[in-house]
């Protein structure tokens, strides 16, 4: 999911894109709005739309919360990993405090992104305990890789035991661990391998953070079979768009604003409705945004351009969900 795309040449003009948003009135007076935010209860919905906080690492937690609330999102998908908004070692004591800060802005924190993949790691249980105390219901696990010495089958056998132990710990703390399918060669890229890992586990505690963008990149049209196979294990989703672009003779996976790429959201959301899939949606902004796309601590473009892009994608997503009868 953390795909770095540093150049938009030949794909999309970032400034032209942002300029068109501003012309249409989508560039919000974010500073003024943020000052007027008052404490309210988090929005209650089966599919809260969250900003992946990786893209706002250049803001403090209170600044991020006020800005995201001003844009109209329901919540935040918080980075609790090295280089994120919260370092893993701090989570045991600080995570509930941070979540409380975010909720003061009227947002929920239904999900977080972690580096957790092993129940035996010394930080795993303290993080899950703190997240449970804070009311976080879902977390994204770390990815695991196929061992070339073991091969595919034996690697999956190894990880089955590992995720069984993690599932048991999730049950203890009443939290769902979700593995994101990601294009490439790691476990989960093919998506069917996640079924092999989780089919004997209780989907309340272990499942998939389904990424339709990466599923499309790997499976073209066959991703519909993935959704059918994993429908009971999909409890949260990542939202982003892409198309294939040829650069210097090589085809690349180019991330673009929602609705500008080749992801068939109409078909996808029709299946989400058909199968009754719910849970939080994490919106990712991995097209060029002056470093915000890559999770940088400093950005090279005006913050209003980042906010305008986030506003655009939110409105696009809400329109898609409305068309699918999901709101």
Q: Is the pLDDT of residue 70 over 60?
A: yes
Which ranges of 208-280 would DSSP assign to H, the alpha helix? 212-219, 223-230, 265-275
Mean pLDDT for 239-252 is 94
In this prediction, residue 16 carries a pLDDT of: 46
| pTM of structure | 0.87
- CA nearest neighbour of 55 among 262, 314, 309, 236: 309
State yes or no: pLDDT of 2 exceeds 90: no
Q: What is the mean pLDDT of residues 224-237?
A: 98
Closest by alpha carbon to 55, among 79, 26, 33? Answer: 79
Question: Looking at residue 44, what is its pLDDT?
Answer: 65
pLDDT of residue 45: 76
* pLDDT range class, residue 58, cuts 50, 70, 90: very high
Q: What pLDDT, in 10s, does the model give residues 157-200?
A: 999 999 999 999 999 999 999 999 999 999 999 999 999 999 99
Percent of the chain with pLDDT over 70: 87
pLDDT tens, residue by residue, 98-147? 999 999 999 999 999 999 999 999 999 999 999 999 999 999 999 999 99
More confident residue, 48 or 12: 48
**Residue 289 three-state SS:** coil
pLDDT band at 308 (very low <50, low <70, confident <90, very high): very high
Instruction: Using a pLDDT cut of 90, give the percent of the chain over it.
Output: 85
pLDDT at 27 exceeding the cut of 60 = no
The tens digit of pLDDT for each residue in 31-53 reads 343 334 333 344 467 999 999 99
Rounded to the nearest 10 degrees, what angle do helices 124-134 and 151-172 cross at? Answer: 50
Please tell me the CATH superfamily of domain 14-323, with its number: Divalent-metal-dependent TIM barrel enzymes (3.20.20.150)
Helix 91-103 to helix 61-71 angle (10° resolution) is 40
Q: What is the mean pLDDT of the chain?
A: 90
Spans of all domains in the chain: 14-323
Nearest Cα to Cα of residue 220 among 247, 191, 198, 260: 191
């Amino acid at each position: 999911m953390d795909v770095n795309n540093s150049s938009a040449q030949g794909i999309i003009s970032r400034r032209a894109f942002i300029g068109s948003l501003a012309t249409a009135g989508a560039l919000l007076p974010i500073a003024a709005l943020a000052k007027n935010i008052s404490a309210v209860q988090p929005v209650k919905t089966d599919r809260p739309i969250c900003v992946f906080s990786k893209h706002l690492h250049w803001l403090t937690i209170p600044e991020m919360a006020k800005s995201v609330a001003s844009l109209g999102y329901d919540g935040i998908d918080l980075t609790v990993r090295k280089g994120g908004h919260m370092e893993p070692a701090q989570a045991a004591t600080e995570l509930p405090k941070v979540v409380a800060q975010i909720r003061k802005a009227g947002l929920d924190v239904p999900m977080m992104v972690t580096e957790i993949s092993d129940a035996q790691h010394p930080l795993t249980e303290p993080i899950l305990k703190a997240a449970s105390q804070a009311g976080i219901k879902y977390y994204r696990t770390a990815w695991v890789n196929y061992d070339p010495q073991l091969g595919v089958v034996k690697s999956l056998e190894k990880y089955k035991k590992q995720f069984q132990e993690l599932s048991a710990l999730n049950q203890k703390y009443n939290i769902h661990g979700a593995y994101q399918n990601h294009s490439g060669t790691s476990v989960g890229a093919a998506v069917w391998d996640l079924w092999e890992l989780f089919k004997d586990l209780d989907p309340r505690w272990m499942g998939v953070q389904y990424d339709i963008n990466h599923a499309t990149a790997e499976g073209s049209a066959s991703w519909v079979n993935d959704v059918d196979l994993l429908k009971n294990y999909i409890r949260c989703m990542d939202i982003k768009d892409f198309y294939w672009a040829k650069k210097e003779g090589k085809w690349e996976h180019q991330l673009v604003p929602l609705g500008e790429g080749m992801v068939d959201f109409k078909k996808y959301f029709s299946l989400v409705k058909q199968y009754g899939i719910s849970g939080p949606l994490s919106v990712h902004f991995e097209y060029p945004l002056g470093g915000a796309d890559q999770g940088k601590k400093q950005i090279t473009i005006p913050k209003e351009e980042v906010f305008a892009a986030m506003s655009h994608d939110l409105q696009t997503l809400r329109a898609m969900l409305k068309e699918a009868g999901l709101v």
